[in-house]
Structure 1
Amino acid sequence: MQYDAFGEKATKKRISTYLNYIYYAQREDGLFHNFMNFQNEFLEETGSEDSFGRAIWALGYLFNTAPFVDFYQLGSNMFFKALPHFENLKSIRAIAYTMMGIAEYLKQQPNDEHVTELLRRLAFKLVHEYDASADEEWKWFEPVLAYDNAIIPLAILMSTKFLNDDKLKKIGFTSFHFLENIIMQHGFLSIIGNQKWAKQNQNMSKFGQQPIDVTATVLLFREVYEITKNEEYFEKMIRSFEWFLGENDLKLPLYDHNTKGCCDGLETYGINRNQGAESTLCYFISYITVYKALKIKFQVAE
C-alpha cells in the first residue's frame, strides 16, 4: 500500500524482506507458522487461523500492486500453495480475511471460475453463521461482538463485486448498519472494548479499544462509500481515522508524532503507551486508505 501510494524506492526493499518472511513461514503443506523467536525459530507448528487469513489477504493484495514480476510470481506460488486449506477454515474472521485476499486476486483475474466458486463457498459459510445467530434485533454472525468486527461485513461486501447474490448483499449491508449504529452512535467512533466485548442483549464494553478494530472500520466505510457513493460514508471513513488523532472516548491521540508509532489502545486508566507492530501497522493502513481515497476524490473533482 505504501509503495502504491507514494512510490518510495526504499519500500521495494521492505517488500522483499517481508515477502521473504512469509515465504520462510510457509510450510510444505501450504499452512504457515506465525510466532518466531530471536534465533529465527518458529514457536509453534502451525499459526492461528487468523494469521493464515491475514497472510492470504496480504498475498492477494500483492497481485495488484507488486512492483516486480518476481514478487508477483513468488506471491502467486504461496497463495495457490495455501489455497487447498481455504475451505477448512472455521474462524469467521479467518474466513473473512481469506475472502478479502481472494477478492484482491479476482480484481486481477476476474475470470478464474474455480477461485470465484471458492469465494462463494466461503461467503456462504458466513451466511450460515449469520442465519444461526441473527434475530429481529441482533443482526450479527455470532452472539457476541468481539474483535475486528468490521472485517466480516467488509469481506461480504467485497465479495459481492464477483458474486451476484441478493442474499449476500442484504446480509452485508444489514450487518454493516447494525455495527455502524453501535459504534458511531455518539458522533465519533467508539469501538467495542475487549474487557467483556458486547454480548447479545447486554451492554458493550467501552475499554480497551484497539487499533485493529479502527482500521477494519475505516476499510469498511471506504468500501460502502465505493459501492453506494453516499458522501455520509466518506465522512465516516475520515471520522473513524480521526480516532487515532484524538476523536475518541478519551479525546487523546494514539499516534505518536515523535516515534511515528501508534499506541496500543484506550484503557480505563488512559492510553496504553506500548506501541506494538500491529497497532502501528493499523495506523498506517488507515492513513494510506484515507490518503488514497481523498486523492481519488479530488482528482475526480478537478
Structure 2
Amino acid sequence: MSSDIPIPVFGQLLRMTDHRGTFEHACLDQPRPEHGYCTDDMARVLVVTSRQPDSTGEINRVAGVALRFLGEAQALTGACRNRMDVKGNWLDEPSVDDCWGRCLWGLGTAVARSDTVWVRKSAIVQFERAAQVRSPSSRAMAYAALGAAEVLSAHPDHRAARKLITDYAVSLPDPSGDPGWPWPEPRLTYANAVLAEAIIAAGVTLEAPNLWQRGLDLLGWLLDLETSGDHLSPTPVGGRGPGEVGPAFDQQPIEVSSLADACARAASIDPAARWNDGVLAAASWFTGANDTGQVMWDPETGGGFDGLQAEGVNRNQGTESTLAVISTLQHAQRISLLQR
C-alpha cells in the first residue's frame, strides 16, 4: 500500500495564492477572488509549507505570504481577524475563535519546522503575541495547544508556550465515563480528531502519561467509528451523534486530514501499527478508497475536491480541501519512506 502513495503536488496551492494570501474558494481549479481570503486557511498554508522537506523557492514564497498575513490578522492583544476581501480590507473584528487557535498552530509549526531562519524568528514573535490570550472554544484551544507543543519541541524553556499548553491541559473536562460515547462533546462536528491530537500532544509535552493515553484512547475510538470495512467513512458535514450510523454525506477532506494529523502524532509515541495504518487509510480516501469509490483529488494540479457526496463529487478545488490532501500525503510519504 505504501509504495503507491502519491507525492504532494503544490500547483493548485500556488495558483490560488497571490501577493496578499491564498484565495479561499475555487470554481474547479480556478480561484474565485471575489470571496477573498481567511486566516483559517493561511494558518494551514503555513503548516504544510513549513513541514515540506526540501521546499522550493515557490513554496517558501507562499510560506512568507502566509506568515505576513497572520501577522496582519493579529491585534496587539493577540486576538485574530479571520476574513479579508480581495482588496485587502478586513471584514471582521479580532476574536479568539478557531482562527486564533489555527494561527497559533501555524506559527508554532513554522517555529519548529521551517527551514528558513527569518520565518522561524518572525513566527516566534507572532506566536508570543497570540499566546497572551485564551479562548472558551475547545477547538480553538486544541489548535493553540498544538502550536505550543511545536514551539516547545524546538524551545523547551519557552515560558509562554508552556503556560498555554498547561492552561489547556487544566481546562480539559473530566472523561465522560460513558464507554459507548467517550467523546467530550455530545456530537462529532468538524475536524474532530484535533481534540484527541491536542490531548496527546499536551500529555507528551507535559510528561503526563495518563493524559496522552487518554488522547490515544479517544483517537482509537474515533478511528474505529470513522472506519467502515477497509476504508474511512468520516463524519459528514451535519455531524454524527450517538446511534447514528454511516455512511453519511457530504464528507469533507478536513475531517480526513485531521484524522491523518492525529494518527501521525500518535504513531510518534505509540508503536501500535494502527496509527500508521490510519494515516495510509486517510491518503487512500483521497485516491478512491472511500464510501463511493471516487477519487477526491486531482493528481495533475494537486488540488483536493471540496466534498464527497452520495451522488458524486464536488470538483471545486478550494484551498481547505487542497491543503487537506497536501497535509495527508506529507504524512503518508513519511511513513512510506520509513517502511522501505
TM-score higher than 0.5 = yes
1:116 to 162, 166, 169: 162
**Structure 1 residues 134 and 279: alpha-carbon distance in aligned structure 2, compared to 1, 3 A threshold:** farther
Q: What secondary structure does 1:271 align onto?
A: strand
Decide whether the 8 Å contact of 1:198 with 1:205 is kept in 2. no
Provide the residue aligned with 1:291 in structure 2: 333
1:80 to 128, 149, 157: 128
Aligned length: 292
Distance 1:285 1:190 in 2: 19
Structure 2: gaps (5+ residues): 1-47
Q: What secondary structure does 2:232 align onto?
A: coil
What amino acid sits opposite 1:66 in the alignment? S
Distance 2:70 2:253 in 1: 23
1:175 to 190, 211, 218: 218
Distance 1:251 1:27 in 2: 45
Provide the residue aligned with 2:289 in structure 1: 247
1:98 to 120, 144, 161: 144
Q: TM-score, normalised by structure 2?
A: 0.80
What amino acid sits opposite 2:75 in the alignment? R
Provide the residue aligned with 1:263 in structure 2: 305
1:29 to 59, 64, 77: 77
Q: 1:114 Cα deviation (Å)?
A: 5.2
Distance 1:226 1:260 in 2: 27
Provide the residue aligned with 1:156 in structure 2: 199
Q: Given the alignment of the two structures, is residue 70 of structure 1 paired with residue 113 of structure 2, yes or no?
A: no
Task: Determine what percentage of the aligned residue pairs are the same residue.
Answer: 26
Q: TM-score, normalised by structure 1?
A: 0.90
Decide whether the 8 Å contact of 1:103 with 1:158 is kept in 2. yes
Provide the residue aligned with 1:137 in structure 2: 180
Distance 1:118 1:24 in 2: 22
Runs of 4+ in 1 over 6 A off after TM superposition: none
Distance 1:34 1:20 in 2: 14
Q: Which has the higher contact order (CA 8 A, sep 6+)?
A: 2
Distance 2:303 2:116 in 1: 29
Decide whether the 8 Å contact of 2:74 with 2:81 is kept in 1. yes
Q: After the TM superposition, which of the residue ranges 286-295 and 101-110 deviates more from structure 2?
A: 286-295
2:97 to 45, 49, 54: 49
Instruction: Give the aligned CA root-mean-square deviation in angstroms.
Output: 1.9
Q: 1:263 Cα deviation (Å)?
A: 0.7
1:224 to 235, 244, 266: 266
Q: 1:48 Cα deviation (Å)?
A: 6.0
Q: 1:69 Cα deviation (Å)?
A: 2.6
User: C-alpha offsets along residues 132-160 of structure 1, whole Å, 9 cap, x if unaligned?
Assistant: x4523111111101111111111111122
Decide whether the 8 Å contact of 2:146 with 2:198 is kept in 1. yes
Q: After the TM superposition, which of the residue ranges 232-241 and 185-194 deviates more from structure 2?
A: 232-241
What amino acid sits opposite 1:19 in the alignment? L
Distance 1:113 1:52 in 2: 19
Provide the residue aligned with 2:277 in structure 1: 235
User: C-alpha offsets along residues 44-77 of structure 1, whole Å, 9 cap, x if unaligned?
Assistant: 0125611111111000001122333322221111
Q: Which has the higher helix share?
A: 1
Distance 2:338 2:159 in 1: 31
Q: After the TM superposition, which of the residue ranges 226-235 and 92-101 deviates more from structure 2?
A: 226-235
